[in-house]
Structure 1
Amino acid sequence: MLYKQDMPSLSVVMPSMNEEETIRICIQKAQTIFKNYGIEGEIIVADNSSDRTAEIAASMGAKVIGPIKGYGNAYLKGLAEAKGDYIAIADADNTYDLLELDKFLDPLMAGEADFIMGTRLKGEIKKGAMPWLHQYIGNPILTAMLNFLFKTKISDAHCGMRAFTKESLEKMNLKTHGMELASEMIIEAARCGLRIKEVPITYYSRKAPSKLRSFQDGWRHVRFMMLYRPGPFLYIPGAFVFVLGFLITASLLLTENAAYNRLHSFILGSMLLIIGGQILATGGYMKTYGLIHGMYRDEKAGKKLLSYHSLERELLGGSLILALGLVIGLKVAYTWVISGYGSLKEVESAVISMVLAAVGLQLIFSAVFVSVMLLEVDTDW
């Protein structure tokens, strides 16, 4: 451990919500770290409590800001106030032992890394500290997804004890307001090329009831990764379903009477075409949202795709497909009328008409929706 004088200052940021039982010990531990390292430090408590948490924290010299609603908001506000050259974050419930901050600070101060993650899964998890669903299913799956999508190599993506340099914080474009900030921070660190290192830590059980909501919070992380990387979640599956539907439908149409004799396969292929188109459109919506909110770096291709002229072409294409579907549908209706409203062997034409109309409308509505999202954005895209 380092004990040198004139060390750069350290900021410890803690979000809190009704942690009056543990806030005192957390602040004491942080102050012990300041003393051990011989540095000037500050403790920032981003609070949204209805109990005495804020009062206790302020009485111990911490800077209390709030009330701030939302996990991500608390960190964004707290980090904005941090003045230290090094910044550490941890929950105020004493599940993370702030006396272990030396494991984070030493490699940062030695210049060995820019961003330090704690890992509970390679450290010690005390009995009752983490539900088995989180420890063996949720956390490993979400961590694996993040590693695959963003080329990281971490073992515990949702560990809340972390530390990084002030310079690294300024490089990361952190925006999210909820629990997904934990994922965003890692994604941004990887995208900025920060040197990420993991250190094993001990995880303790909470005294107060947990505020985590397993499935809701898990979905928020998945949704955020989907927003950053719509390809594996939407574009690739959507394209696969669409092409599969096209191949099934086209093969039956090219075989005489096959569509009529194999009606169920023909309907399946048509359904896959429509579903694939909807999945691809959803990917387009998410990509547009990400571009508008600056979530991608150097996305020239995406911006070009969303240009006004591209949207005009999408409207034109959708209108032509819809018109073709309506023409085929009118032909079926006309045949039905002149046959005396009797039974028809126009299954192929009727289904094709339905598919073309659905795909055409999807393109039109997609173009309209995207153009509405881009109303307040620079139209020179």
Structure 2
Amino acid sequence: MADAVELTILMPCLNEAETLAICIGKAQGFLARTGIVGEVLIADNGSTDGSQAIAEAHGARVVDVPERGYGAALGAGIAAAQGRYVIMGDADDSYDFSRLDAFVAALRDGADLVMGNRFAGGIAPGAMPWHHRYIGNPVLSFVGRLLFRTPVRDFHCGLRGFSRAAVQGLTLRTMGMEFASEMVVKATLAQLDIREVPTALAKDGRSRPPHLRSFRDGWRHLRFLLLFSPRWLFLYPGVALLLMGLLVGGTLLHGPVRLGGVTFDIHTFLVAALCVIVGVQSIAFAIIGRRFASRYGFIPRSDQYDRLLEGLTLERILLVAVLLMVVGMTALVWGLAEWAARDYGPLNPSSTMRPVILAMTALVCGFQLMMSGFMSSMINIPIYERRLADAPEPDDHLQRRRSTDRT
């Protein structure tokens, strides 16, 4: 029977008694009008207003999801869906479930993920707060397109359709509102066929405030986007800081530099050294973060990145770290020699602080690389889980232990 179901219309639900029956009626009307073999599935997230009874009374199937959260409800609903395709949307009557034709057409045409675009389809007055419409959604959608090169222009549209098999293959993990971003990001990284269709957004029909919390959930979306992109979070800023620090530091290594009426001296040299230190650590974090994300399935593996990691062995990293420490110690000896040449008397900070800053920068960077190398290698340690069938029974193990103790 499940094999014959083509479409599941999935609605996450938490106390939507005011609008649930309307949404179910529109979804069933769409299935009847188009002749699609489908079902209406309600993923209930612990409603206390009788939403479950309303759904069942109107012919929808209900799956109870005890773990709270938007992502938890949708994840359980996708797992319980019987349809080959799933179209999900909020049960607050802000989306018109009677007009899903464009989604179904795109899915039948081979799309893996079909996103609704509210900005192309129209937003009714009062349907979206102004800071969501002109700040939150555009900014987060721009960040998503910049970081992941996704074609989606409305990153957080709640009405979307997808191939159930394709989305289940993404192994979505988040439990909150960021589930919407995770789906788009992982689908993009997996190079799935993603398309957009215009969809209209109406003012929701409930009298209570929405579950969405603008700043809290907006930050969760932004945090997710950054954590899933170690390049933009760590690598690019780190490379920029490192190059700037090396350029400025190399220019000021031999003495102050005057540009126009401004003199750059030891204080600027110190700032350049700090840029180098932070840049090296940021690049190390990018490598560790990417290795961790690839290892545990948060980000798809990359052949190019894997070849880079194969070259960055622990031994090579330690070699570079030791060389930096040697440079640091040499610079420190240089500074001591400068002090000794002045009979250990008063020093000129502009000249004598340079070798000391260079020495400390090289020593700190070397130590950072050494610790980062070990941390990266710890993540790469192979883990093998023994099957339960291979493990001894608890009683047998206890009996052997008692026999050993008596012996």
TM-score calculated relative to the size of structure 1: 0.85
Q: Determine the structure 2 residue equivalent to 1:357.
A: 363
Superposition pairs of residues 189-208 of structure 1, within 5 angstroms: 189-190=187-188, 191-205=190-204, 207=206, 208=208
Letter in 2 for 1:92: A
Does the Cα contact within 8 Å between 2:172 and 2:183 map onto a contact in 1?
yes
Q: Determine the structure 1 residue equivalent to 2:389.
A: none
Superposition pairs of residues 150-299 of structure 1, within 5 angstroms: 150-190=148-188, 191-205=190-204, 207=206, 208-253=208-253, 255-256=254-255, 262-299=265-302
Aligned pair count?
371
Q: Determine the structure 2 residue equivalent to 1:67.
A: 66
Q: Does the C-alpha gap of structure 1 residues 182 and 252 become closer, same or farther in structure 2, counting only changes over 3 Å?
A: same
Letter in 2 for 1:302: Y
Q: Could you tell me how far apart the structure 2 residues matched to 1:104 and 1:202 are?
A: 15
Q: Determine the structure 1 residue equivalent to 2:354.
A: 348
Letter in 2 for 1:80: A
Does the Cα contact within 8 Å between 1:117 and 1:163 map onto a contact in 2?
yes
Letter in 2 for 1:269: A
Letter in 1 for 2:164: K
Letter in 1 for 2:149: K
More displaced stretch, 295-304 vs 362-371? 295-304
1:103 paired with 2:105, answer no
Q: Determine the structure 2 residue equivalent to 1:79.
A: 78
Q: Determine the structure 1 residue equivalent to 2:89.
A: 90
Q: Does the C-alpha gap of structure 1 residues 17 and 339 become closer, same or farther in structure 2, counting only changes over 3 Å?
A: farther
Q: Determine the structure 2 residue equivalent to 1:3.
A: none
More displaced stretch, 117-126 vs 161-170? 161-170
Q: Could you tell me how far apart the structure 2 residues matched to 1:325 and 1:135 are?
A: 53
Q: Could you tell me how far apart the structure 1 residues matched to 2:288 and 2:209 are?
A: 38
Secondary structure at the counterpart of residue 183 of structure 1: helix
Identity %: 35
Q: Does the C-alpha gap of structure 1 residues 133 and 235 become closer, same or farther in structure 2, counting only changes over 3 Å?
A: same
More displaced stretch, 83-92 vs 162-171? 162-171
Tell me how far 1:196 sits from its aligned partner. 1.2
Measured against aligned partners, the alpha-carbon deviations of 1:254-297 in whole angstroms (never above 9, x if no partner) come to x3565997112211211211222232223223212211222444
Q: Could you tell me how far apart the structure 1 residues matched to 2:41 and 2:164 are?
A: 15
Q: Which runs of 5+ in 1 are unaligned?
A: 1-5
Does the Cα contact within 8 Å between 1:129 and 1:206 map onto a contact in 2?
no
More displaced stretch, 295-304 vs 231-240? 295-304
Does the Cα contact within 8 Å between 2:115 and 2:194 map onto a contact in 1?
no
Q: Could you tell me how far apart the structure 2 residues matched to 1:72 and 1:335 are?
A: 63
Q: Determine the structure 2 residue equivalent to 1:35.
A: 32
1:20 paired with 2:26, answer no
CA RMSD of aligned residues (A): 3.1
Tell me how far 1:7 sits from its aligned partner. 8.2
Letter in 2 for 1:21: E
Letter in 2 for 1:284: I
Secondary structure at the counterpart of residue 45 of structure 1: strand
Quick one: which of 372, 382, 407 aligns to 1:366?
Answer: 372
Measured against aligned partners, the alpha-carbon deviations of 1:198-256 in whole angstroms (never above 9, x if no partner) come to 22222323623122233333333333333443324432222121011101111111x35
Does the Cα contact within 8 Å between 1:179 and 1:221 map onto a contact in 2?
yes
Q: Could you tell me how far apart the structure 1 residues matched to 2:279 and 2:162 are?
A: 42
Q: Could you tell me how far apart the structure 2 residues matched to 1:36 and 1:261 are?
A: 75
Tell me how far 1:351 sits from its aligned partner. 0.7
Q: Determine the structure 1 residue equivalent to 2:390.
A: none
Q: Does the C-alpha gap of structure 1 residues 214 and 343 become closer, same or farther in structure 2, counting only changes over 3 Å?
A: farther
Tell me how far 1:98 sits from its aligned partner. 1.5
More displaced stretch, 306-315 vs 88-97? 306-315
Tell me how far 1:339 sits from its aligned partner. 6.3
Q: Could you tell me how far apart the structure 1 residues matched to 2:141 and 2:43 are?
A: 27
Mark the structure with the bigger radius of gyration: 2
Q: Could you tell me how far apart the structure 2 residues matched to 1:367 and 1:163 are?
A: 43
Q: Does the C-alpha gap of structure 1 residues 285 and 212 become closer, same or farther in structure 2, counting only changes over 3 Å?
A: farther
Superposition pairs of residues 313-352 of structure 1, within 5 angstroms: 313-326=316-329, 328-329=331-332, 332=335, 342-345=345-348, 346-352=352-358
1:48 paired with 2:45, answer yes
Q: Determine the structure 1 residue equivalent to 2:395.
A: none
Secondary structure at the counterpart of residue 42 of structure 1: strand
Tell me how far 1:64 sits from its aligned partner. 1.8
TM-score calculated relative to the size of structure 2: 0.80
Does the Cα contact within 8 Å between 1:291 and 1:302 map onto a contact in 2?
no
